[in-house]
Amino acid sequence: MFSGKISGGQNNHKKIGLLLQLVLLLVIVCVSTACGKKKSTTTPAPNSQVTYEKGADLTGVIREVDTDGEMVAVYNPVTETEETFLYTSGTSIQSKNGTELVMDEVQPGEVYDLYVDDVGSGLTRMSAKADIVEEEDTQVYVDPDKQMLTVEGVNYAYSEFMVSLSDGKRIDPMEITAMDEVTFRGVSGKAFSLIVTKGHGYIEPIEYADFVGGTLTIEGESILPVTEGMLITVPEGAQTLSMKNGDLASSASATVERNKVAKLNMKEGMTQIPETARASFHINPEGAELYINGTMVDYSKPVPLYYGLHTIKVVLEGYNTYLGTIRVQDPEPSFRIDLAEEVATVEPSDDTSGESESNSSTVTDDDGTVQDPSDAEYDVDNKITVSAPNGASVYVNGTYKGVAPCSFTKCIGKITLTLQQEGYQTKSYSLEIIDDGEDTALSFPELAAAGQSE
């Protein structure tokens, strides 16, 4: 029996061993299966509360807004093209500070980031661009040869597509004179728009033969010699023109409109200057120029002067310029001025004719706005020729030069050249004539007919 029990115990041990092996095998299989599986991940559903906004499609410089046709014409400074887009009442328009605007408030020359619909022809949104250079009521110098603008001392390149407007009409940037005021917009190195905010017009004096050879003053602007057939470019607005020649004086006023000519009759207000003396000047050496109160005078004959103090300047190449004052006390004073390399001296010709005193301050008139005629430079060996537009009268700084095609002595430096022709719009161009020792040839576009929109 003992042996039988042992035999049964051995069988039990075998069964237990087989069971343990089976359990171990199942564990290995389960572990292997678990390791082979990839860990599942859950992708979160898009949040419907978040707006994913695309960037602007282009930067556009406003050229024109057509509220009737609901269209906006813009200049694209990246592609150098002009493009037109439709807009609707649903188009969102925002200012630089995020204020909502309407299309009537969008002005030519302003710069916007534009968002275009899927079709590509309509605007869904316009946002005023903040990161641009903007200069208001400033002056601009234009170099057409280099296609460069200078604003506040900084240079900007420009193209033929740049928005350049005056009174809503397209203009050549060269038509902007030094006296005009503009609003400039652009980015570093590139101009986007020029909008003339204060332009220029013209004064044409008539009935002024008695003043030829005298001086002309545009109030607050300049002093010019009076010549025949004058046409003077002046800022738009109220202007007063005065002329003097000897004992004669006249003054007339007008409101000058942009790009239009105002005629002033100088004979109507002509008067004889009372209480004037006639001063004689004897200057050594001969050939010197004499300026009294900032105006060059012909001292080959007695000079009419009011009683009192006057500033004088005497200029002669090779000698020191003399600056001083004289006091006129008698009806016919006489002054002698001797220039020297070191010192200039002034002496009355007798003890009763007048007094003089040295003064090193700059010579100006009462309001300090004298334009010294000695600043003008000429190249007498070369000429400027204006070949077109044919038949137009040509003026340089208000002085008549002839009818195109015409030639005249070359004037050096910055000038305003004006073209006038009966039945056509008067035009002015701001130019800089360089001193290169050669003739200068100029040709300009045909003038637009009077009343015609450009």
Note whether 206 and 268 are same-domain residues.
Answer: yes
Same domain membership, residue 303 and residue 251: no
Establish if 50 belongs to a structural domain.
no
Contact 230, 400 (CB under 8 A): yes
Q: What is the C-alpha to C-alpha distance for residues 167 and 171, in angstroms, rounded to an integer?
A: 10
Same domain, 294 and 243: no
Co-location of 121 and 140 in the same domain: no
pLDDT at 433: 93
In a domain? residue 14? no
Pair 280, 330 in one domain:
yes
Number of domains in the chain: 5
Query: Is residue 32 in a domain?
Result: no
Q: Same structural domain for residues 395 and 418? A: yes
Task: Assign residue 306 the CATH number of its domain.
Answer: 2.60.40
Question: What residue numbers bound the domain in which 325 lies?
Answer: 276-358
- The reported pLDDT for the residue numbered 8 is 42
Q: What is the pTM of this model?
A: 0.65
- Kindly state the tokens that stand for 305: 């002067």
Q: What does the pLDDT profile of the chain (454 residues) look like in tens digits?
A: 333 333 344 455 555 555 556 656 665 555 455 444 444 444 455 555 545 456 899 999 999 999 999 999 999 999 999 999 999 999 999 999 999 999 999 999 999 999 999 999 999 999 999 999 999 999 999 999 999 999 999 999 999 999 999 999 999 999 999 899 999 999 999 999 999 999 999 999 999 999 998 889 887 556 788 999 999 999 999 999 999 887 788 999 999 999 999 999 999 989 876 677 889 999 999 999 999 998 999 999 999 888 778 889 999 988 888 888 888 878 889 999 988 764 445 555 454 444 444 433 233 333 332 333 334 688 889 999 999 999 999 999 888 999 999 999 999 999 999 999 999 999 999 999 999 999 999 999 999 988 766 5
